[in-house]
Amino acid sequence: MKIRNTRQRQLILDAVKSLHAKHPTAEEIYSHIESVNPGIGRATVYRNLSFLSEAGHILKIETPIPPDRFDDTLAPHYHMQCRVCGEICDADIEYMRDIESRVKPTDGFIIESHDITFKGICRKCHENIVREDNAE
């Protein structure tokens, strides 16, 4: 199993990096590439996103509201997700290295990692709701 550096794989890694702030979905990555590079297949994007996250080159973020999103920031950190639009952004809070060891052993479950997701509403969606309420 010799790994190859295909043009597509590189394009996908570049796209995740350049869409960094967006925490892009697979579809966003696909259409970002497709606009400049028509002909790439969606399956190739999905396959490579899995490959790259399993290889530790990018991070797959499994959020409460699908679809999954991808991040090129490898340092562990937490996210906030808007319950209206589903957009996510980084949460400005220190990473809790000790929290896993504070869980009391249960049924032989071995903890390997943890995620914290703050749920709420982003400024844009909040403004829209206020606007709609005033319109009534």
Q: How far is the CB of 42 from a second copy (least distance, A)?
A: 19
* Cβ(110)–Cβ(94) below 8 Å: no
The 45-84 site mask, x for binding DNA (CB under 7 A), equals -xxx-xx--------------xxx----------------
* Residue 7 interacts with DNA (CB under 7 A): yes or no: yes
Interface residue with DNA among 13, 16, 40, 88 (CB under 7 A) is: 40
- Look at the chain and count its residues: 136
| Residue with smaller CB distance to DNA, 10 or 73 | 10
| Cα 77-114-14 angle, rounded to 5 deg | 45
Beta bridge partners of 60: 70
In the list a second copy, DNA, none, the entry touching 22 (Cβ below 5 to 8 angstroms by class) is none
**Hey, what are 110's tokens?**
């071995």
**Hey, what are 119's tokens?**
């749920």
Contact stretch for DNA (CB under 7 A) within 34-42, 88-96, 117-125, 126-134? 34-42
Specify the DSSP element, H or E, that contains 61.
strand 59-61
Residues that bind a second copy (CB under 8 A): 62, 64-66, 80, 82-83, 89-93, 99-100, 102-123, 126
Q: How far is the CB of 67 from DNA (least distance, A)?
A: 3
- How many angstroms separate the CA atoms of 82 and 125, rounded? 8
